[in-house]
Amino acid sequence: MLKALSLALISLALIPALSTASDAVSTNADSMLRGEKLYKSACIACHGTGAANAPVLGNKKAWAPIIEQGMDKIISVALHGKGAMPARGGTKADDATLRAAVEYMISRAQ
Ligand code: HEC
């Protein structure tokens, strides 16, 4: 009896924790998907092929020194451009979507 009661209490305590966790995951998945979409509609032109010497998606060696600079620096380059990298990758993407695309690219290089 006591055991059943404590099991019931434990599962009650777990329910909110589990639903919070899955909310966080689905938000991340949504933003990742938006990033992947932007990547595939725009960034892929250079980052899929290495055109203009762009670091290629999934090329760990090319991305390692970029990742080392830290996210703030990387986002700033993505927003403002650098060399042959156009500001916002030549798109009108908003900050959040651009960041999602950068996070998608970084996730593929780790
Ligand atoms: C016209 C070609 C081109 C397009 C389109 C493009 N990039 Fe780039 N990107 C480059 C080149 C070239 C570099 C390397 C710049 C350098 O280091 O001089 C670069 C570098 C980067 C970097 C590394 C920044 C750093 O800190 O060195 C990120 C992140 C990046 N691009 C994100 C994006 C995203 C996100 C998109 C799409 C929204 C995009 N790029 C579209 C050419 C492009």
From first to last of the 110 residues of the chain, give the pLDDT tens digit. Answer: 666 656 555 555 554 555 555 556 667 788 889 999 999 999 999 999 999 999 999 999 999 999 999 999 999 999 999 999 999 999 999 999 999 999 999 999 98
Instruction: Pick the residue whose CA is nearest to atom 8 on ligand 1.
Output: 85
Q: CA nearest 46: which of 92, 80, 85?
A: 85
> 66, 55 in Cβ contact below 8 A?
yes
Which atom of ligand 1 is found nearest the CA of 75? Answer: 29
Angstrom distance (rounded) from CA 6 to CA 25: 29
Q: Which residues of 25-50 are buried (b: 16+ CB within 10 A; e: fewer)?
A: eeeeeebeebbbebbeebbbebbeee
Angstrom distance (rounded) from CA 64 to CA 16: 38
Cβ < 6 A, ligand 1 pocket: 38, 42-43, 45-47, 51-55, 66, 69, 73-74, 77-78, 82-86, 88-91, 93, 98, 101-102, 105
